[in-house]
Structure 1
Amino acid sequence: MSVMPDHPTPLSGRHALLIGASRGLGLVLAGELAGRGWQVIATTRRPGGELQARADASNGHLTLETLEMTSFAQVVALRERLKGRRLDLIFVNAAIDRGDLPIHEVPTAMFTEVMITNALSPLRVLEALHDLVAPGGTVAVMSSEQGSISLNTEGGYELYKASKAALNQLMRSYATRHAGDGHTKLLIDPGHNRTRLGGPDAPLVPEESIPAVADVLEAAHKDGSGDLRFLDRHGATVPW
């Protein structure tokens, strides 16, 4: 793939790296961006499946890379494979949930697994890859309203909520540390969707919510703000 110039290009020529796209929201987002003309590199832990089928049918707009996000060695290897590329968007979409236990009943190993996957690993990815993002580009992470402390007024899913709140806080630190890099930084709440993570009774389906998320991402390019924002799928601010 050719190296992108640093000057702005039309949205149809934008390049995106999507971390975690084998199913659910990531799968739909990969297809949505590719369908809008983006050149999308999407990662999956295992090749094949629906993501591979979409890549095969994308006329080159969607290509795949293998990555286990929690393996820092694999993140470094991906960075080497992408050396010299210029990206307009890095979007990290990866999270796990291990059930609805009160925090005092959560085993230490489970706590560690969820925090490494949902909070630590996304920031390791961004730190390893952020210098591939072109001036004026966007660095985004899939968060959740569940990570909002002020909105945590109902019980349940304490570990998942804590992991998303930790993700938000770490992203805030990342934005402070990289305040002068000219990148727009976003935390995105896609809403409660019917996925393996969201469950079968969620009110939204990715095919309806993800196009709105893509609209927010494209609007961020036009806005060019370097501030960190926590936005829902409609572009409205989610309270911290």
Structure 2
Amino acid sequence: MAKQDRSALIVGASRGLGLGLARAFLARGWAVTATARGEAPALASLSPVAPEIARVDIDDDAAVARLRDDLAGRSFDVIFVVAGIADGAQVPLPQGDRAAALKVYETNAVSPIRFAETFAGTVAPGGLMVLMSSVLGSVSLNEGGTLESYRASKAALNTLARSFAARHRDAPFGVVLMHPGWVRTDMGGPEADIDVATSAEGMTAVIEERLGQRGCAYLDYRGETLPW
């Protein structure tokens, strides 16, 4: 398959890593559909080709269903659910706001899997359902604590993704949980290790290499396998 025949749906692409991924896939010749909750001027201004832009809030099941209906008849070689939050991440869970912690769990773990389920039938044979995870979701690597609600949400996402992959084991696509690295974004902060372009270009290269493979993998932006 020529790259220009490949298509990607990037979910949560108005800024940060989602925007970087849209730019990286476009640069590799992919057709890109990108979603945002509201206006997305940075997406619309990508050049020389801007992606198709759709509106959706992944925490809204009805909106997700409408998007699926709007895209009826379409298939994607890659669906990458990027959207996530880290509200209250610096506060230890026992001292934090209960509603904020539950919202992080909803947006980072429940909503991506519900979105994946709704769109599972639109992944092309040999394609990938990719979910933005984090090395912080690794239970075995959590020796220092901190960022508790965020860590827990990504660990939950990893577990739910493995269940999703098992439920769809006969489907003709694979599942990837992706750690983007520690990236200089609004969420990652200015002291992070790498910039958005480095992370996005690495992730797109890993994804292209992974096309056609089944099962569920937990990888970083360099293609290294992470421990669960």
The two structures have a TM-score, normalised by structure 1, of 0.92
Distance, in Å, in 2 between the alignment partners of 1:88 and 1:58 is 22
Distance, in Å, in 1 between the alignment partners of 2:123 and 2:29 is 18
Q: Percent of aligned positions with the same letter in both sequences?
A: 41
Map of 1:90 onto structure 2? 79
Q: Are positions 1:40 and 2:32 aligned together? A: yes
SS at match of 1:31: helix
Map of 2:65 onto structure 1? 76
Distance, in Å, in 2 between the alignment partners of 1:73 and 1:58 is 33
Map of 2:19 onto structure 1? 27
Spell out, residue by residue over 1:26-67, the C-alpha distance to the aligned partner (whole angstroms, 9 max, x if none): 10000110111100000001123211211xx3435x110011
Distance, in Å, in 2 between the alignment partners of 1:48 and 1:30 is 12
Map of 1:183 onto structure 2? 173
Map of 1:146 onto structure 2? 136
Distance, in Å, in 2 between the alignment partners of 1:58 and 1:104 is 49
User: Unaligned regions of 5+ residues in structure 1, if any?
Assistant: 1-8
Q: Are positions 1:236 and 2:221 aligned together? A: no
Code of the residue aligned with 2:92 in structure 1: it is P
1:182: how far off? 1.6
SS at match of 2:45: helix
Q: Which moved more, 1:189-198 or 1:44-53?
A: 44-53
SS at match of 2:177: strand
Q: Which runs of 4+ in 1 moved over 6 A?
A: none
Code of the residue aligned with 2:191 in structure 1: it is D
The two structures have a TM-score, normalised by structure 2, of 0.97
Map of 2:185 onto structure 1? 195
Spell out, residue by residue over 1:138-197, the C-alpha distance to the aligned partner (whole angstroms, 9 max, x if none): 110010000000111123100000000000000000000000102011000111001011
Distance, in Å, in 2 between the alignment partners of 1:48 and 1:23 is 8
Distance, in Å, in 2 between the alignment partners of 1:130 and 1:103 is 33
Q: Contact between 2:217 and 2:225, CA under 8 Å: does it hold in 1?
A: yes
Q: How does 1:150-161 map to 2 (within 5 A)?
A: 150-161=140-151
Q: Contact between 1:34 and 1:58, CA under 8 Å: does it hold in 2?
A: no
Map of 2:160 onto structure 1? 170
SS at match of 1:28: helix
Aligned length: 227
Map of 1:226 onto structure 2? 214
Code of the residue aligned with 1:47 in structure 2: it is E
SS at match of 2:20: helix
Code of the residue aligned with 1:228 in structure 2: it is C
1:105: how far off? 1.2
Q: Contact between 2:127 and 2:174, CA under 8 Å: does it hold in 1?
A: yes
SS at match of 2:39: coil
Q: Contact between 1:20 and 1:93, CA under 8 Å: does it hold in 2?
A: yes
Distance, in Å, in 2 between the alignment partners of 1:15 and 1:225 is 17
1:102: how far off? 1.1
1:13: how far off? 1.1
SS at match of 1:188: strand
